[in-house]
């Protein structure tokens, strides 16, 4: 190195050291900057003073160089120690700074959580108060509803008691009239059921006997048919047998003849030509030789096939093994590519994780920045609002004070007026009370007398009307009863029904006045009972009850009267359906219509025989009419029921009603006619008694009226005076009340306005503090966001580089594997590579073995092919010999016996014909035997069946006779049972009505008691809701006073919000921790500054030593050069020594400091930011 090189090295070294020191100093605090500058000046000055004079000789230069090297080593060691101490102090200061930052963040978070908790407490109190108010209002409404419900249930209970009493009285009346007991009805029902069960059993016996007879008849027919079939088959088989026997005779003869002809021709040919006989023998010999040669060839061919198969297998195995080796080599390459992909994936994953972490930090910083900006905007808006509210509140307070004073003065004046009015009202009220007592007594007596007159007059009117109606009914009762339903329809105004009866096509069968006619009142009454039974049956199928109309009742009566003679449907009127039945007077038509047909349908599933049953249960039928008469020409009684749909022949459905309503209407008419004479006599007596009572009541009423009028006059006078006094009191009270309310409102307004002013003033101060705090937080978040953004951009770039690398590795894998790589990792890729390598070794060994086997198989196949060719040559020679022998035979045969082959074929054809005929005979004999046996079996069965048939016919007759006898018993038992049911039905209905009334009464009582209980609960609920509302209002008032600022000074008392003290404690604890950690941080910062100072001094000292070493080396080099030139020493030896010295010097002056400018810059910048954050926090919490 020359002089210029040494100087250049020295300059670079000094620049590096200076750069490191200056960059560190640039980021130091302002307080430290001046101190460092002063130190540099002092150090530079010291360096100039310590600089030695130039050496004057080589030895002195050498000594100076050695001293400089020692000084360089010493300062380098000191600089290293100072650097390590500085780095340790810097790390401790950074950790303390981080702890301080975390403490500040924790303190801020504690305050935010406390503010949120305070706000939520107020919001929850407001919500609870509103909810309590809603509940109180709802409970008041529910209390009023409960009171109304109690009143309704009380009235319903009273009504049900009256109905129960009426039902009981009616039951007692019916009990006196009905003589049949339930036990007797039960006995008759059991007797009926027993007879019905017997009839069912007898009918089953008839059916069983009939089915047995029908089965025998069917079997007889089947046996007869089987006999005829067997006979016909036997005849056919016998004919076939005869034909086959004839064919056998003919075929046997033909065969014998053809054989004889052939044998004779063959013998003649052989006898007449020794050459032909020799030719035949040669053919046989050639055939035997050929067969032997072919057997040898086949053996050789099989051996060759086996060898070829082994060869093909070996060839395939070798090819497969070669394919496996190629594939295994490729798998190794693919596994290596997979490893490269896995490595790239790991690098990318690390980059992605770093980028995600950086992005997460950035997102968090962005969110915090946005949140801080939002909070700042909100705080600004709140401050503006609170400022305006404060101005409004102060103006409102002043106005409220003025209005309060005026209201208090008006209230005092109104109270004086009220006292005077109340005195006058008291005197007037005493006078009215006395007059009212006299008036009430007179009115009570007059009202009682008036009600008596009204009641008596109403009794006379009712008695007169009842008498007139009863007298008229009595006079016309017999004639009206004789009119039957005609009279009923006339009374009801049923014109359509009358027209039906009077103008029916078969009206001649209706006999008005005949007791047995369907129009008689008794039969019409009975018909309504049958409709009741029909509706009960429909209930079993969830069908609605049928309604009854006058027109359909008239149609049923007309049709039934006609059908009693006609025994069938008349078709007089277009209705939806009709059921008809005929039987004795006690017969139940629904037994046949419903019970029997229902059973038949459920048994057979065939609806064709169950039309009456489906009419009864059809949901579409809405209306009905029923009739019964007692002069059926064949059975004694006829029953008819018609049905109709909603929109079919609608004129017949007019004025239809429920069966109960229709029955009540009919029975009212019926009872009125049957009891008409007695009713008229009793009505006359009641009319006379009512008139006498009316006259007496009128006299009493007139006297009471006069007395009441006099008392009323006195009362009116007193009331007028009292009214005037009351009006004055009321007016005065209203004025006082209004004045008091006005005063209270004004006082409350002043209080409220004053509190409002205080509240909004505090809110303004709080809002200002919150705005300042929000601004400080926003500034901190902006700085944090910029730092996070820079880190994220750097991480994103690194991720893109790794993505590109992974893409390239995947493309390389796809080029090898021919597909996209799936999920993998380094461990999996390594396992795949290891597996691929082991597989390659395995398949290589397999390939070597396969090639060896292939070579062996080729040799064996070639040997077998040679053997086969030799055998084929022998076979070809033998085939030629046979061909030559056959040719010679054929030439001789053509000359000696040209037709010998034809005769030989004729013999073969005859043999086939004989075999066919023999088989036909065997088949025919089999058919004969089979059909003969079938005929014998059928004849035996037929004989047995014909013997059993008379007995089955007798059983049917006996069973039918028993059924008829049982049927008569059922009809008799049915009539007896029905009479008992009819007799006891009124009692049953009365009991049912009474039980229903009792049930309704119990239910009404239960409902009433529950209503009373519910009302009590509702009253209690109102009280509870009111208490809850008062509690919520108190809590709301307490919540309105909450203040975090005050809570920091004085703990919150009371159970409702004392839990908020925990948040305050957290704030205080966090602030204390900030102060403690800040003290630690200040301590570490001071230590760092001292270490920095020592480190800077060490670097400057080291820089001086480096400069001195460079100068000493330069001087030494100069003296060495001069000495060499003067003394003529070995130039090469001198240059070697000089080079070694230079190398040592250059190594020494190379920068050895551990200071990194960029990290130092970032670290110091971070410390500056922390210092700013701490300063801001202190200012905020001071």
Q: Say how far apart CA 683 and CA 468 lie, in whole Å.
A: 8
Check residue 754 and give its pLDDT: 85
Q: Is 581 helix (H, G, I), strand (E, B) or coil?
A: strand
Q: What is the pLDDT of residues 666-701, one digit of tens each?
A: 999 999 999 988 888 888 888 888 888 888 888 898
Q: Say how far apart CA 921 and CA 941 lie, in whole Å.
A: 31
Residue ranges of the chain that CATH labels 3.40.33.10: 495-654
What would the DSSP string read from start to end of 247-268? HHHHHHHHHHHHHHHHHHHHHH
Check residue 1094 and give its pLDDT: 95
8 Å CB contact between 710 and 497: no
Mean of pLDDT values over 580-594: 92
* Of the candidates 546, 540, 532, 539, the residue with the CA atom closest to the CA atom of residue 621: 546
Per cent of the chain over pLDDT 70 is 91
CATH class, range 495-654: alpha beta
Residue tagged 């419903």 (tokens) = 594
Biggest CA-to-CA distance, the chain:
188
Per cent of the chain over pLDDT 90 is 39
Check residue 1157 and give its pLDDT: 41
Check residue 842 and give its pLDDT: 87
Q: Say how far apart CA 1141 and CA 1148 lie, in whole Å.
A: 11
Q: Say how far apart CA 598 and CA 726 lie, in whole Å.
A: 84
8 Å CB contact between 453 and 699: no
With cut-offs at 50, 70 and 90, classify the pLDDT of residue 652: very high
Mean of pLDDT values over 1101-1116: 90
What lies within 8 Å, CB to CB, of 759 at 6+ separation is 393
Is it the case that residue 1171 has pLDDT exceeding 70? Answer: no
With cut-offs at 50, 70 and 90, classify the pLDDT of residue 409: confident
8 Å CB contact between 1133 and 1123: no
With cut-offs at 50, 70 and 90, classify the pLDDT of residue 52: low
CA geometry: angle at 533 spanning 528 and 534, to 5°?
Answer: 90
Q: What is the pLDDT of residues 80-132, one digit of tens each?
A: 999 999 999 999 999 998 998 899 888 999 989 998 998 999 899 989 988 99
Check residue 902 and give its pLDDT: 82
Mean of pLDDT values over 977-986: 90
With cut-offs at 50, 70 and 90, classify the pLDDT of residue 19: very low
Q: Say how far apart CA 242 and CA 231 lie, in whole Å.
A: 17
Pairing outcome for strands 577-583 and 547-548: unpaired
Tell me the pLDDT of the chain averaged across its residues: 86
Check residue 1174 and give its pLDDT: 55
Q: What is the pLDDT of residues 476-513, one digit of tens each?
A: 889 999 999 999 999 999 999 999 999 999 999 999 99
Check residue 714 and give its pLDDT: 87
Q: What is the pLDDT of residues 707-742, one digit of tens each?
A: 888 888 888 888 888 888 888 888 888 888 888 888
Check residue 177 and give its pLDDT: 85
Q: What is the pLDDT of residues 303-362, one digit of tens each?
A: 999 999 889 988 988 998 899 899 889 889 999 898 999 999 889 889 888 988 888 888
First to last CA, the chain: 65
Q: What is the dihedral of CA 1092, 1086, 39, 54, to 10 degrees?
A: -40
Q: Say how far apart CA 719 and CA 429 lie, in whole Å.
A: 8
Residue tagged 């090469």 (tokens) = 1132
- Partners of 624 in beta bridges: 548, 643
Domain 182-266+895-983 has CATH 1.10.3720.10: no
Pairing outcome for strands 547-548 and 623-629: parallel
8 Å CB contact between 576 and 621: yes
Q: What is the pLDDT of residues 857-904, one digit of tens each?
A: 999 999 989 999 999 999 999 999 999 998 887 788 777 666 777 887
The whole-model pTM stands at 0.29
Mean of pLDDT values over 58-79: 92
Check residue 22 and give its pLDDT: 38
Is it the case that residue 553 has pLDDT exceeding 90? Answer: yes
Per mean pLDDT, which range of 281-285, 348-352, 1144-1148 is the poorest? 1144-1148
Is it the case that residue 35 has pLDDT exceeding 70? Answer: no
Residue ranges of the chain that CATH labels 1.10.287.1490: 182-266+895-983
Burial class for 402, CB neighbours closer than 10 Å (0-12, 13-18, 19+): exposed
With cut-offs at 50, 70 and 90, classify the pLDDT of residue 1153: very low
Token readout for 762 is 């505090």
Token readout for 25 is 């100093």
Per mean pLDDT, which range of 197-206, 609-618, 753-762, 1088-1097 is the poorest? 753-762
What would the DSSP string read from start to end of 1125-1166? HHHT--HHHHHHHHHHHHHHHHHHHS------HHHHHHHHHH
């Amino acid at each position: 190195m020359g002089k210029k090189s040494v100087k250049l090295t020295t300059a670079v070294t000094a620049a590096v050291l200076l750069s490191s020191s200056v960059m560190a100093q640039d980021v130091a605090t302002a307080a430290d900057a001046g101190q460092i500058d002063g130190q540099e000046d002092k150090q530079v000055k010291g360096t100039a003073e310590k600089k030695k004079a130039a050496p004057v000789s080589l030895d002195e230069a050498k000594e100076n160089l050695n001293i400089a090297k020692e000084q360089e080593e010493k300062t380098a060691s000191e600089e290293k120690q100072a650097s390590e101490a500085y780095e340790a102090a810097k790390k401790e200061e950074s950790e303390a700074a981080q702890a301080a930052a975390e403490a500040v963040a924790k303190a801020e978070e504690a305050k935010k959580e406390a503010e949120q908790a305070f706000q939520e407490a107020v919001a929850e109190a407001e919500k609870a108060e509103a909810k309590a108010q809603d509940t109180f209002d709802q409970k008041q409404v529910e209390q009023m509803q409960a009171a109304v419900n109690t009143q309704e249930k009380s009235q319903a209970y009273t009504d049900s008691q009256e109905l129960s009493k009426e039902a009981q009285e009616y039951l007692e009346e019916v009990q006196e009239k009905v003589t049949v007991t339930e036990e007797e009805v039960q006995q008759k029902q059991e007797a009926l059921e027993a007879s019905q069960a017997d009839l069912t059993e007898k009918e089953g016996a008839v059916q069983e006997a009939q089915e047995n007879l029908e089965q025998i008849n069917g079997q007889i027919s089947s046996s007869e048919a089987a006999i005829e079939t067997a006979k016909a088959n036997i005849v056919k088989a016998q004919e076939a047998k005869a034909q086959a026997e004839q064919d056998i005779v003919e075929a046997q003869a033909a065969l014998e003849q053809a054989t004889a002809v052939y044998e004779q021709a063959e013998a003649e040919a052989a006898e007449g030509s020794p050459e032909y006989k020799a030719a035949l023998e040669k053919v046989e010999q050639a055939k035997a030789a050929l067969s032997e040669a072919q057997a040898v060839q086949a053996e050789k061919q099989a051996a060759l096939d086996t060898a070829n198969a082994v060869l093909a297998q070996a060839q395939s195995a070798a090819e497969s093994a070669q394919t496996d080796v190629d594939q295994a080599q490729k798998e190794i390459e693919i596994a290596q590519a997979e490893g490269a992909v896995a490595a790239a994936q790991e690098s990318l994953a690390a980059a992605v994780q770093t980028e995600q972490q950086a992005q997460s930090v950035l997102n968090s910083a962005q969110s915090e920045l946005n949140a801080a900006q939002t909070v700042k905007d909100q705080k600004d808006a709140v401050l503006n609002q609170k400022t305006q509210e404060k101005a409004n509140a102060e103006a409102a307070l002043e106005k409220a004070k003025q209005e309060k004073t005026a209201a208090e003065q008006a209230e005092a004046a109104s109270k004086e007026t009220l006292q005077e009015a109340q005195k006058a009202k008291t005197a007037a009220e005493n006078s009215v009370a006395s007059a009212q007592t006299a008036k009430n007594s007179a009115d009570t007596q007059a009202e009682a007398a008036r009600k008596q007159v009204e009641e008596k007059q109403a009794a006379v009117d009712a008695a007169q009307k009842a008498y007139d109606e009863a007298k008229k009914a009595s006079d016309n009762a017999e004639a009206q009863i004789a009119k039957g339903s005609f009279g009923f329809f006339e009374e009801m105004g049923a014109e359509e029904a009358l027209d039906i009866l009077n103008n029916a096509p078969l009206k001649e069968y209706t006999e008005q006045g005949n007791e047995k006619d369907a129009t008689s009142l008794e039969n019409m009454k009975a018909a309504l009972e049958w409709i009741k039974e029909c509706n009960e049956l429909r209930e079993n199928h969830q069908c609605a009850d049928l309604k009854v109309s006058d027109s359909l009742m008239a149609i049923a009566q007309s049709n039934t009267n006609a059908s009693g003679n006609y025994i069938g449907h008349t078709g007089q009127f277009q209705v939806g359906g009709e059921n008809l039945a005929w039987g004795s007077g006690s017969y139940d038509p629904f037994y046949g219509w419903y019970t029997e047909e229902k059973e038949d349908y459920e048994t057979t599933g065939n609806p064709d025989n169950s039309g009456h049953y489906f009419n009864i249960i059809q949901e579409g039928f809405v209306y009905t009419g029923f009739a019964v008469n007692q002069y059926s020409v064949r059975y004694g009684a006829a029953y008819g029921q018609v049905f109709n749909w909603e929109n079919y022949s609608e004129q017949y459905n007019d004025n239809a009603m429920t069966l109960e309503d229709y029955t009540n209407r009919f029975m009212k008419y019926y009872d009125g006619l049957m009891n008409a004479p007695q009713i008229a006599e009793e009505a006359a007596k009641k009319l006379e008694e009512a008139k006498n009572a009316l006259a007496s009541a009128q006299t009493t009423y007139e006297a009471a009226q006069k007395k009441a009028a006099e008392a009323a006059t006195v009362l009116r006078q007193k009331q007028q005076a009292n009214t005037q006094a009351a009006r004055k009191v009321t007016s005065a009270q209203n004025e006082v009340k209004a004045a008091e309310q006005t005063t209270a409102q004004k006082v409350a307004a002043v209080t409220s306005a004053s509190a409002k002013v205080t509240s909004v003033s505090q809110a303004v101060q709080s809002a200002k503090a919150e705005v300042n705090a929000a601004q400080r937080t926003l500034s901190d978040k902006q700085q944090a966001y910029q730092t996070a953004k820079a880190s994220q951009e750097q991480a994103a770039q690194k991720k893109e580089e790794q993505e590109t690398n992974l893409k390239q590795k995947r493309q390389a894998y796809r080029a090898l594997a021919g597909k996209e790589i799936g999920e993998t990792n380094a461990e999996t890729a390594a396992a795949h590579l290891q597996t691929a390598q082991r597989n390659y070794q395995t398949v290589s060994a397999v390939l070597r073995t396969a090639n060896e086997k292939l070579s062996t198989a080729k040799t064996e196949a070639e040997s077998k092919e040679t053997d086969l060719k030799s055998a084929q040559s022998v076979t070809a020679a033998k085939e030629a010999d046979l061909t030559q022998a056959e040719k010679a035979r054929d030439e001789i045969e053509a000359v000696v016996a040209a037709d010998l082959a034809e005769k030989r074929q004729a013999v073969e054809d005859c043999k086939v014909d004989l075999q066919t005929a023999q088989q036909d005979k065997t088949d025919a004999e089999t058919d004969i035997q089979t059909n003969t046996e079938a005929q014998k079996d059928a004849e035996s069965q037929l004989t047995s069946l014909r013997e059993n048939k008379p007995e089955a016919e007798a059983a049917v007759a006996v069973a039918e006779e028993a059924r008829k006898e049982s049927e008569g018993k059922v009809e008799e038992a049915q009539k007896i049972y029905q009479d008992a049911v009819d007799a006891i039905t009124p009692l049953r209905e009365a009991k049912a009505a009474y039980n229903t009334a009792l049930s309704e009464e119990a239910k009404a009582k239960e409902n009433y008691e529950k209503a009373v209980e519910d009302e009590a609960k509702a009253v209690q609920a109102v009280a509870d809701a009111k208490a809850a509302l008062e509690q919520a209002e108190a809590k709301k008032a307490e919540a309105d006073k909450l203040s975090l600022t005050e809570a920091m000074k004085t703990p919150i008392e009371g159970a409702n919000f004392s839990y908020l003290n925990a948040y305050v404690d957290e704030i205080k604890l966090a602030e204390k921790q900030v102060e403690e950690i800040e003290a630690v941080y200040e301590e570490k910062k001071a230590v760092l500054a001292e270490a920095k100072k020592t480190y800077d001094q060490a670097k400057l000292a080291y820089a001086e030593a480096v400069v001195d070493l460079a100068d000493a080396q330069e001087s030494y080099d100069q003296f060495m050069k001069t000495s060499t030139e003067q003394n003529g020493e070995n130039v090469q030896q001198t240059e070697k020594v000089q080079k070694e010295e230079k190398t040592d010097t250059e190594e020494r002056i190379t920068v050895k400091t551990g200071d990194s400018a960029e990290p130092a810059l970032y670290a110091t910048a971070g410390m500056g930011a922390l210092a700013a954050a701490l300063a801001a926090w202190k200012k905020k919490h001071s």
